[in-house]
Structure 1
């Protein structure tokens, strides 16, 4: 199979993001449903939600544990925050699946997973939501604990509209193999997962690989070690979901998302140092990077 192509500015200019005209309202820029957070890690939902808006989505709804919904709404007044039933471990209860599947039909993209610490409940919830949303056509990003909901294989009806963003440990769980084996050939693991799930896969790492369901691959080494920080993956997943809501196809949204995330880290590293910047600081970098690429295309 062919070697991965580099993710470059020229590549992205040839697959431009949807343009939004003066006079459009926020509904025309898309609405995202973010299912995320837990009693112990409500910040995952906050970072992912902020990232969707920084990527240009018009509206975000955050569905999270009921006990943290009000503080989260105060921390992010731009979001509509939905409180859900909780498990004893502080996660979102799987019986909320019907509720979430219905809410998904009111949105243009969904993200499930950031900050969900009750892994068993997250897996059950994700599998049930995907089962109940098989025919709605909404693209979905799955991150972190939500990836465990895919261990049974590709969810029916979602081929071609899933994006999954595992690190090496999560990829090992997805494929039923050792983490060391994944690390020995990360690109092969990404291709296997993309074929198995019929999804766009981001194999996160120092050099991230992006693979389409057909096995075509790209590589992005734009990031740096500073991106290996708490919440960084939440911001990447949120950026991709925001681009999907705007109308970008799954592959384009993912390639752009990985580039924007890596370039944001590169800019912060130049200004602040290679390590020590925060995941939340990545997000303010995203709009000017998008604007610069759009301007250079024009």
Structure 2
């Protein structure tokens, strides 16, 4: 693990870096298909808002089409809150997850979506893992980007049927995972204080072991790719430490991936946009008290600002 960390070059996610790494843009005459189709799979009876937050963030990040798959008990509520989306209601388990027949319900979408976000607002980790493994099998060999957040990251702890019980689970194709330090402790069995003390090494090690782009979130977020490349982003404020805030960066990342950004690019941009949205809200409303639902509204202007300001200085209006 230390060898991985010391060998890696750590890139700072600054405005200058983002400007040198521009996001894919649709043509002047491009339609919503060219902007990408994102599927957000999540929500539950107790947390229907999480999937709404993530889905809104995906659209604000520029995705052109949105499908939301959520529990049948809350599907109508989500549809009313998200008139832009197609909403699919899925049968639920007693523990608040989705039954396995959800794979068959979603199968027709598998060849039509560019990015899939799984996890916001989901409950029943074991059921979520079974569903993720089924969907990964269906998407095998495709170009669809998979983003795992919240409960769906527990897939790493529940290997699929037929997996060698003596081997730790590893994704066949790279995915994006977005744990904070507490979730990383749950996924690795490493005490949280040890992760907080050495996040670079922990993220780098996990990226290689899991075959995933790992965004280990915090005041300083560390992003690690399976090939050993690493990035760090410092920014945002304590106001982002609020209920629902974690659903928004996952949605932003999925929206950017649907537009055609690769896994590392979507993750770096998504982390930066989320932090800077918090900075803009704090400047306008105060550091404490702004809401997670307000974060996505800042994203379109930030995308324009990063692209159009601070060239050659590494600073945008938000960093000044």
TM tier relative to shorter chain: over 0.9
The corresponding residue for 1:13 is 19
- 3-state SS of the aligned residue for 2:80? helix
**What residue in structure 1 maps to residue 162 of structure 2?**
none
Q: Which runs of 5+ in 1 are unaligned?
A: none
Report the RMSD for the aligned CA atoms in angstroms: 1.6
**Is this contact kept in 1: 2:58–2:254, CA < 8 A?**
yes
The one of 72, 81, 93 equivalent to 1:87 is 93
- Helix, strand or coil at the partner of 1:99: helix
Q: Is the 8 A contact 1:84 1:96 kept in 2?
A: yes
Deviation at 1:97, TM superposition (A): 2.4
- The correspondence for 1:126, drawn from 128, 132, 151, is 132
After TM superposition, list the pairs within 5 Å mapping 1:165-204 onto structure 2.
165-204=178-217
Aligned to 1:289: 302
Contact 1:39 1:91 in 2 (8 A): no
Q: Is the 8 A contact 1:33 1:104 kept in 2?
A: no
More helix by share: 1
Deviation of the 1:69 alpha carbon: 0.5
Partner of 2:170: 154
Question: What's the secondary structure of 1:33's corresponding residue?
Answer: strand
How far 1:172 sits from its partner (Å)?
1.7
Partner of 1:144: 150
Cα deviation, 1:176-220, whole Å, max 9, x if unaligned, reads: 322232222111111111001111110011111111112221111
TM-score by length of 2: 0.88
**Deviation larger for 114-123 or 187-196:** 114-123
1:51 aligns with 2:57: yes
The answer for unaligned runs of 5 or more in structure 2 is 1-5, 160-168, 313-320
Query: How big is the shift at 1:64?
Result: 0.4
1:222 aligns with 2:221: no
SS in 1 for 2:88: strand
Q: TM-score, normalised by structure 1?
A: 0.95
Q: Is 1:279 the counterpart of 2:292 in the alignment? A: yes
Tell me by how many angstroms 1:39 deviates.
0.9
1:101 shift after superposition: 4.5
Distance 2:131 2:288 in 1: 35
* 8 A Cα contact 2:58 2:253, kept in partner: yes
CA contact (8 A) 1:264 1:285 kept: yes
- 1-structure distance, mates of 2:283, 2:58: 25
Q: 1:281 to 1:114 in 2, by over 3 A?
A: same
- Count of residue correspondences: 295
Q: 1:71 aligned to 2:82?
A: no
Q: In the alignment, which of 59, 67, 70 is matched to residue 61 of structure 1?
A: 67
Pair member with larger Rg = 2
Separation in 2, partners of 1:181, 1:13: 34
Give the secondary-structure state (helix, strand or coil) at the position aligned to 2:122. Answer: coil
